[in-house]
Amino acid sequence: MPKLTRRSVVKLAAGSAAGLVLGFHLPPREARALETPNDFGSFLNAWLRIAPDDTVTVIVDRAEMGQGVYTALPMLLAEDLGCEWSRVRVVAAPADPVYRNVFLVKEMLSGGQPMGNTANWLVGKLARLFGQQVTGGSSSVRGAYKPLRIAGATARGMLIAAAARRWGVPESECRGEAGVVSHLGGERRLTYGALAAEAAGLRPPKRPNLKQPNEWRLIGQPLPRLDLPAKVDGSAGFGIDVRVQGMLFAAVAACPVFGGTLGRHDPARALAMPGVKAVLPLKDALAVLADNTWRAQQALAAVEIEWTDPPGPLVDSAAIEASLRAALDETGRIAEESGDVAKALAGSVRRLRADYEVPYLAHAAMEPINATARVMPDGVDLWIPTQAQEISAKAAAEAAGTSTDKVRVHTTYLGGGFGRRSEADIATQAVSIAKLAGAPVQVVWSRAEDMRHDFYRPAAACRLEAGLDADGRLLAWQQRLASPSILARIFPPATWIEPDGTAVEGAVKQPYAIANRRVSHTVRSFPVPVGFWRSVGHSYTAFFNECFIDEAAEAAGKDPLAFRLGLLGEAPRQRAVLELAAAKASWGTSLPPGRGRGIALHSSFGSHVALVAEVLVDATGLSVVRVVAAIDCGVIINPDTVAAQVEGSIVFGLTAALYGRISLEGGRVVEQGFDDYPMLKLSEMPVVELHMLESSELPGGVGEPVVPPVAPALCNAIFAATGKRIRRLPVTGQLTA
Amino acid sequence: MKLVVNGTAHELVVEEDMPLLWVLRDVLGLTGTKYGCGVGQCGACTVHVGGEAVRSCVMPATAVEAPVTTIEGLSSDRSHPVQRMWLALQVPQCGYCQSGVIMAAAALLRSTPKPTDADVEAALGNICRCGTYARIREAMRALARA
């Protein structure tokens, strides 16, 4: 095996005419360590190793949380590598700056608008310096689409060069395909595995030769997911399944009031219980360590703990909601403005106004929050189901009192993420406990702990005003939003000049042509942690906007579909999905009494989605009968994965719209489990029909964009069935007579 | 106490009220069975006891009087019809809840080889946060036809 050193730097050049250098891709420190126990073969670049037996190992730098990145990302690389798909296997990337999510930062800085080459280069530089290795923002495939194909094509070029050298023939006479480099007529052939060691020492080609779409063999195919065999036989390793020699199991209770601290507690009863090894006080929590999880949980429950509440009043839901509603009387900070909305409203023939609101939401991933940590003199090992390896490493280093380069992050499968696992609180906690314990420790939160110590989707309120002319045309749109700010917690500078973009996304850059519009936002802060929740701000702006558009259509005396289409003259992709969903759902045909259809359109994360929901409201209550979805997500890498994400997003959206509500009392979250924070079940699952538009546009995201339009499609359908407008989520409790 | 799991007999000393889930996971090392809520609400911990689907997080191990089968023992090579259908229709997403769903499905098919949609809905009340319900329903319909 060749020795890998910093000299074997792989320099990847972009395929663009400008020949922009994409970056220096070092084989990461941690991936090199993988060589010791496993012969994964030679590094061709940071994402690829090829073994002598032709096994292709793709190092995936995004977390597999069910969205299929352990298949889609290897498909991109394997496509341009030209290897046999059956030889591909996946390992999780370690934490390393080479794996930073450049795309996500670029999208944030550019606001999703195209940039010139110079701006693109500069923003890319900044992103590599200041970005993070993070899985989120439906960015995995979008971000990997070009770099991983280039990584594959670059490696193919190196393998071809190695073969050409060995044969003493020009590279142009050789080709790489199906895991073999062949010369001219194919008399001479060498497998990638036989060439990999030699190829790894060669200079990568300056202009990697990317395949044309008509040459693709993998992209666009519904390939079975590589991770699924292990997910039907129980062998897939989630965070909670990590087992380390000599490890202890910890149960933890943190102060139920956010910001509170641990007060008096008597560990005696717990310490007397079988298997209990230690009771460890942390600043804001108490940990009990035992020789199994259940014993730790039992012993924790046996400790009487006094908590010290933080100074200041203890919030409850009523006060938070009142504060958000009151904020709607303020203008707030302008997020987007065009025309003269005040004048247009004053001059309109018909005006309408409505207030909407949504509650805090928990992520409630099925795998409770957990991590396993081992603190040794030579460094820290952290096994963690995380969406954020570098942030976790930093948190672990701080907790252990060491430097980040001494932390080895081992990313397991994630039993759901939905944004919750982009936080590093559990890394801090697990490493702190392991350090105190002097032994490897697995911390697993109870379901109640998971629910009561989340970083919640912000509660939000919205006031919408619209003005119509005599012909029912929408002239003016004024939107005031009020919510806590996620970025004010995570990265305050992002809120200094502009309002928090994550709070207003989806309300701004609407596809509808409305000459006079203003969108503003007021921050209201409460002692409740807020964070990224699948589709973030879009999760509520789509509800506000698409329900209010329906109200405007009603006021205009127009059909909701026709009214929207009338505003979409310059938005062909949105138009297309809307028309497709409507046609497939037989929009406009009559339904029996008690039934209604609702339509909604929303664009986010680079994709465009229209939904038509059909509901039945009768004496037994509400049932969602059918949801027809149309999506334009650009080039589709794996259509079966797209379909799965659409199906799952509809469930996720319906769960939130029908049932989701986190409430506060005395500074604490009330909900503790699936009884008071219910999830949609199989018996409530509507028929889902999906229609994907063919597109040659760049890939859009698929993990999040279908969530936002679910609530408005549902609520518009409820209106069609009952005549009742739902302006507050969740729906539950609002349809009883 | 004696516990037979996946055909292997174990002699164990555990507390009287220790749930089967934790005996499987933390004592016997069978981590395929998952902890989701600990109070029998989500079904991630479903295993078979004497062929019946049981939520192992609320079943004391000492109360188990029949052989236990976990996801690891359903088949040695993913050849159980439910596992094969789950792969054919690509049911799982994150996969965390699927051991429990698969065990519940296998138990249902054993007692009711041709389940109706209503049978399936009644037996598979498991929570799947990723929302794989559409595929679970399709897979169960296909298995009922088989």
Neighbours of A589 (CB within 10 A): 7
Q: Is the per-residue pLDDT at A186 higher than 60?
A: yes
- From the list B124, B127, B130, the residue facing A674 with the nearest CB is B127
pLDDT at A716 over 90: yes
The full length of chain B comes to 146
d(C-alpha A422, C-alpha A419), whole Å? 6
Start-to-end Cα distance in chain A = 74
B84, closest residue in chain A (CA to CA): A232
For residues A137 and A394, is the Cβ–Cβ distance under 8 A?
A: no
* Residue closest to A25 by CA, chosen among A14, A13, A11, A5: A11
Q: Is the pLDDT of residue A610 over 70?
A: yes
pLDDT in tens, A636-687: 999 999 999 999 999 999 999 999 999 999 999 999 999 999 999 999 999 9
Two tokens, residue A582: 């409507």
Nearest alpha-carbon partner for A412 in A345, A367, A451, A447? A367
Decide if B96 and A416 are in contact by the 8 Å CB cutoff.
yes
Round the average pLDDT of chain A to a whole number and report it: 92
Mutation target for A interface from B46, B96, B126, B141: give the one with most A CBs within 10 A: B96
Query: Closest partner residue to B102 among A232, A291, A294, by Cβ?
Result: A232
Cα distances (angstroms) measured from residue A573 to each of A41, A114, A220, A474, A564? 45, 17, 20, 21, 13
* Predicted confidence (pLDDT) per residue in A194-219, tens digit: 999 999 999 999 899 999 999 999 99
Q: What are the beta bridge partners of residue B48? A: B53, B69
- Provide DSSP, A667-706: TEE---STTTS----GGGPPEEEEEE----SPPPP-SSTT
Q: Which residues of A touch B133 (CB under 8 A)?
A: 647, 651, 680-682, 685
Identity of residue A717: A
Lowest pLDDT segment from A20-34, A368-382, A699-713: A20-34
**Tokens 């693109």, located at residue:** A120
Q: How many CB pairs under 8 A join A and B?
A: 176
Does the structure show a pLDDT above 90 at A145? Answer: yes
Q: Write out chain A residues lying below 8 Å of B125, CB-based.
A: 681-683
Residue among A519, A444, A514 nearest A481 (CA)? A519
Instruction: Residue A687: list chain B partners with CB under 8 A.
Output: 134
CB of B6 less than 8 A from some CB of A: no
Domains of chain B: 2-74 (3.10.20.30), 81-145 (1.10.150.120)
Nearest alpha carbon to residue A38 among A89, A110, A101: A89
Q: What is the ipTM of this complex?
A: 0.98
Rounded mean pLDDT of A27-34?
Answer: 43
Residues 50-69, chain B, touching A (beta carbon < 8 A): none
B41 neighbors A675 (Cβ within 8 angstroms): yes
Helix (H, G, I), strand (E, B) or coil at A232: helix
Most B CBs within 10 Å: which of A233, A383, A449, as the mutation test of the B interface? A233
Shortest distance, CA A299 to any CA of chain B (angstroms) = 13
Cα distance between residue A174 and residue A707, in whole Å: 47
- Using CB atoms within 10 Å of the CB of residue A217, give its burial: 0 to 12 exposed, 13 to 18 middle, 19+ buried: middle
Taking an 8 Å cut-off on Cβ atoms, the answer to whether B31 and A648 are in contact is no
Q: Are A21 and A14 in contact (CB under 8 A)?
A: yes
Element (H, E) at B102: helix B98-111
Whether A234 sits inside 8 A of B25 (CB atoms) is no
For the sheet with A48-50, list strands across it.
A42-45, A48-50, A56-60, A88-92
- pLDDT tens-digit map of A53-106: 999 999 999 999 999 999 999 999 999 999 999 999 999 999 988 899 989 888
Residues of chain B with pLDDT under 50: none
CB-based contact, B81 to chain A, within 8 Å: no
Is residue B101 less than 8 Å (CB to CB) from chain A?
A: no
Nearest CA in chain B to A369: B36
Residue contact B93–A67, C-beta within 8 A: yes
Residue B36 contacts residue B53 (beta carbons within 8 Å) = no
B13 phi, psi to nearest 5 deg: -120, 105
pLDDT band at A477 (very low <50, low <70, confident <90, very high): very high
> B125: closest CA among B33, B42, B38?
B42
What domains lie within chain A, and their CATH numbers? Answer: 11-96+133-223 (3.30.365.10), 239-310+369-444 (3.30.365.10), 317-360+456-722 (3.30.365.10)
In whole angstroms, what is the distance from residue B142 CA to residue B85 CA? Answer: 8
Strand order in the sheet with A687-692: A595-604, A607-618, A621-632, A687-692
Taking the mean position of all CA atoms in its chain, how far away is CA A297? 31
pLDDT score, position A40: 77
Q: Give residue A495's pLDDT.
A: 87
Q: Which two tokens stand for residue B97?
A: 């809840």
Structure tokens at A137: 């923002």
Query: What backbone phi and psi angles, to 5 degrees, belong to A571?
Result: -135, 75
Describe the crossing of helices A639-659 and B133-145 by its angle, rounded to 10 degrees.
Answer: 120
The pLDDT value given to residue A112: 67
